Amino acid sequence: MSSYDVTLERVGGPTRTIGIDERETVLEAAQRAGTPLPYGCRTGACGTCVGRLLAVDGTASVDADAAEDGIDVADAFAYRREPRALKPRHRDDGYVLLCIATPETACRVAVGSQVQSELVDNPWK
């Protein structure tokens, strides 16, 4: 069984690297490690747990507009089920649902409510 180091970078906050078993979701591992992440449904339907892939092990960092750099979410994560809260264009932009995503390599991910607000406008703000 493999384990991968996944670095969670909270926008404007602390960064933490946690070892995640290949059968464990990022959310499960973060909770085990005492690292809070936002979440809602745990089934990939609501999008509350969304993160944005920043880099796959050994690649340079990319920003959200640099999709042409070739970093694909499928290079870093497998899903336990269909991520219903993400449209194909969201996946192309590097967004990943951390409640159902299991790592397939070491990587860095932006996390937190600011990442969710990049994806969906909140009518309650």
pLDDT for position 66:
46
The whole-angstrom separation of Cα 49 and Cα 58 is 25
pLDDT for position 33:
97
Residue 57 in this model has a pLDDT that exceeds 90: no
The residues, any chain, with a CB within 8 Å of residue 84's CB and separated by 6 or more, are 43, 44, 45
- Are the C-beta atoms of 77 and 96 separated by less than 8 Å? yes
Tens of pLDDT, residue by residue over 5-24, are: 999 999 888 999 999 999 99
